[in-house]
Chain A
Amino acid sequence: GEDVEQSLFLSVREGDSSVINCTYTDSSSTYLYWYKQEPGAGLQLLTYIFSNMDMKQDQRLTVLLNKKDKHLSLRIADTQTGDSAIYFCAEGDSGGYQKVTFGTGTKLQVIP
């Protein structure tokens, strides 16, 4: 079955770049996602990338996809204290209806 792995914790200084990495197993995934969960809040769709792309940039966010290595990363430029949250990597099932498989989440701590 599908499996998504990511590190549990990342600490960066305010103003630095953060890079959160993820590996997945389903090479047929159509979409790969990054969701953000702030304390006490729900899952916010942060960004996503279609599997035929290798990069997507959206303001401070850059998503890189290496399909050969099944590796996905999220780079946050100029990290702010408001970026502190749990970031979930997820892949959409290769089947018709895109069941999403999540990683364990990476807790990003931004140090002022």
Chain B
Amino acid sequence: EAGVTQFPSHSVIEKGQTVTLRCDPISGHDNLYWYRRVMGKEIKFLLHFVKESKQDESGMPNNRFLAERTGGTYSTLKVQPAELEDSGVYFCASSQGQNQPQHFGDGTRLSIL
């Protein structure tokens, strides 16, 4: 069984540009989560999907971040326009049910220059 996959593994863009991160959850997992770790800080929750619906987006930092999960399969996280403080590692996780452990992908390292 394939794990959670994220693409790209590393992205380097200039301030003001747009970047889209992708996450493919484990097949059959309805719950999909986004987290991020910015420099020197803890890994923090961003938002949670159940199928295609956003259940909790309380961790989204501001309206420059847009997450989608059309069709309830893979998810994208778009940052537009990117700012320097957005640099960090963005993790995606999925779980089969709401009370099941979350499995994480390898993360996307985002560097804003």
Contacts and interface: CB of A to CB of B under 8 A. Distances in A.
Interface of A: 4, 30-31, 33, 35, 41-45, 48, 88, 92, 96-105
B18 interface: no
Contacts of A103: 42
Contact of B48 (A33, A45, A99, A104): A99
Of B6, B31, B35, B104, the most chain A CB neighbours within 10 A belong to: B104
Interface string B102-113: 111111000000
A21 B55 CA distance: 32
28 contacts: A4-B42, A31-B99, A33-B101, A33-B102, A35-B104, A41-B106, A42-B6, A42-B105, A42-B106, A43-B43, A43-B91, A43-B104, A43-B107, A45-B101, A45-B103, A48-B101, A97-B48, A97-B50, A97-B98, A98-B98, A98-B102, A99-B56, A100-B33, A101-B45, A102-B35, A103-B42, A104-B42, A105-B42
Contact of B102 (A4, A100, A104, A105): A100
Q: How big is chain B's contact interface, by range?
A: 20 to 34
B93 interface: yes
Nearest to A97: B98
A96 B49 CA distance: 13
